[in-house]
Structures are given as C-alpha cells and as structure tokens.
Amino acid sequence: MRKPATIEHLYLDFDGFFASVEQQRDPRLRGRPVGVVPYEGGRTCIIACSKEAKAYGVKNIMMVDEARRICRDLILVPQKPDLYRRAHNALLAEIASVIPIDTVKSIDELACTLDENQRRDPAELAMRIKRAIRYNIGATITCSIGFAANRHLAKIAGGTQKPDGLTIWHPHLMPGPLLKVPLEDIPGVGRRMAKRLAGHRVGTTGHLLELAPKQMRAIWRNVTGERLWYALHGYTIESPQSERAMFGHARVLPPEARNLDDAYGVARLLLIKAARRMRRADYYCRGLMLWLKFYDDDWSDMRTLPQVNDDQAVLSALTIMWDMMTATMGRKVRVLRVGVTLCDLTPATARQLDLLHNDDADRQKWERIGSAMDALNTRFGRTVTNLGIWAPPKGGNVGGKISFTRIPSAEDFQ
C-alpha cells in the first residue's frame, strides 16, 4: 500500500442522468423541472429528477404529491430504460475518445486512471471531456468531475461542486478540502453509520479523520472501516473483486394492477427475466426469494431449490410460494411492490447434481427448451416465445427498468 504524491484518479458523475437524457431527447423539457416516474398516472414516486427540480427541493424517491407541492411546475415523464442504456453507451464512447475508462461504476458514474501526461493539466483534460459530451451528444447532459490521489477521494471531490462541476484535490492540499464535506456525504458512511459514529462521539469528517485504522474497523465491525481510513488518508486502495451473489428484479405496480392476480403475473414475468439473465451469465441457483410490499404490511420468504437455471423449475417454486403467501395474507390485500431474487449461485462449470432428486433427465429437457426459447428471443430481439402468457403491465420495462447500480443489456428489453 502506498500514498501517492500526486493526483492519479478521475471520477465522473453525470448530473441528474435520467432526467437530463429526457431533456436532451425532448427540447420542450430543457430548462424546466422534470421528474422521471415509473409510469403515468396513479400514486407513485419520483425515480430521478433534473437539476431544475432539485433547485426547488425535489429529491429522488420522493412521492409525486409531495414533489408537486414543492414544485407546481414539475413535469412528470415516464421512464424509458432502453433510452438511458443507449445514452450511457454513447457517452462512454465519447469519453473513451478522450481518456481510457478504467471502471464503469454504474450507469451514471465511471472512473479513470491518469497517466503522467494527464496529471499535468487535469483542468484541461476535464474540459476536453465536457466539450466532447456537449458537442457530440448534447449540451443538456452535464457531468461533475473530481481528481484526487485515489478513486474514493476523487468521487468525494466530484460531488462537492454539482452540477457541471470540476474539483481537483492535490495531495499537498489534503485533508483541508475534505474537512468541509459533511460526514454523511462520505461514501461508506450514510445515515445509519452516522448514528453509530455519533455514539462514538464522531460527528464531523474531522472527527472521523482523527480515528485510528483499528478504531474504524471496530466501529464498522469489519475490514471496510479500516479500508475507508486508508482511502480517506490518501492511500491507494484496491477494492476486492466482487462475486455475483444474486439475480433479481422488483417492480412498483400501477394502481390498476395492485390485486393478487395481476401481482402474480408481474412476479412471474420478473422471475423469467431474472432466469434469462442468470443463464446468459452461466450460473445456476439454489434459492428463490419472494417479497411483497402491501399498503400496511409486507411478506417475504425463501425457498431452497436443487441447482437449476430453467424457467420451469423456478416458476414451479414461485407458484408454491405464492400459494403460501396467499394462505397467510388472504386474497383481499393490495400489493404495492413485488420482487423476486435468484440466490445461492453456482457457476455452470461447478454445478453438482442432487442425487436425492434424481430428476436430471427432466432438468436437461427443460434446459434444452429454455436454450431454444432464449435463442429465438435473441434472434428476433424481443420475447416471441416463453412459458405461459407474456403480458407486461402498464409502463412495460419488466426486467429492464431504470437502474442506478446495474447497466441493463439489450437482452433485458426483449
């Protein structure tokens, strides 16, 4: 582990990405407060908002009624996930023409490692990136860029002057600029951790920097705290490579689909989408999680499976779990949100058969059927064949919905 004497990393974060893409697509929205919502009509929340809406106090995950009280002129736009995916790919191509992209962190964030020439004039490098976006994509889509000794500090720096900001934290200036950042704005802290830190008499970023590495490890109750200490103090930290843990999808239901029958249909489509993603990534699963949020309650459960990846196996498990949920909650409940997750994953190359089930012949049959259906859907670029009825709810985007943490692939929209 070393402590760089100069800036080595760039972190770029697009400003109000989903809303700004909508404004770029439709000139009538430019300069106006925009809120992106899951679907038209009904009681729902703001998924993302433009910088003009944020100036009024509108925030992501705010209910539409509250957002409209704050901003009467707010324009609501239904989400278009495939548009955001295509915009993301176009923007990456423009940025890569200026500097190689090291890591794509999410659909609206990326990081780059600087070479010796790029470190000499970071401001000019940032302006080249911003010009490439402005003149080759559009002036409505802006980004905030941070430079620092490591990626974590560059991310924090980029967030200090939004929107369309540029912040350079040279190591010899540290930790001065960092001391001005509110504790809860430090990635890795958040509201819950801030409360825990308050119990240890840590109320500011300055107090946090005064702690020792082992103290932070004890407060976080794992090595993450110690790693954060080194990152905040300017050391290079290599993040451990993460492994795929699950494939899942969730959906807020439109008002007319909040009954059990329609909710089951949505859960079924979400599960098929998750299984398709799992097969494309060459995994099998041994568990299915189902959860539902009602108006005044919620329900969740997990079912253990043999190592499977075909639609028939996971859909059969869903039917069993749905019957259990209905027996517990009754049929008069109103469902606000439904989610499914395939978990306990195993790479396809490491699959082990369950000798007690003795159903490998059936599994291979259903897997061949699944492969044939996947091939047809890929060939035609949409769902042309599947098990059961394919009837996406109002707003569509089942399995390809708006996502900050995952970049949908073209296949997610089939």
Which residues are marked as active site?
109
CB 412, CB 397: distance < 8 Å = no
Chain-centroid distance of CA 242 in Å reads 15
Distances (CA, A) of 374 to 275, 279, 280, 361, 377: 11, 9, 9, 20, 5
Q: Which two tokens stand for residue 239?
A: 């993040």
Please name which of 351, 373, 380 lies closest in space to residue 275, comparing C-alpha atoms.
373
Q: How far apart are the first and last CA of the chain?
A: 45
Please name which of 290, 388, 412, 395 lies closest in space to residue 79, comparing C-alpha atoms.
395
Name the pairing type of β-strands 9-14 and 109-113: antiparallel
Q: What 3-state DSSP class applies to 287?
A: strand
Name the pairing type of β-strands 45-46 and 283-294: unpaired
Q: Which two tokens stand for residue 374?
A: 């996947």
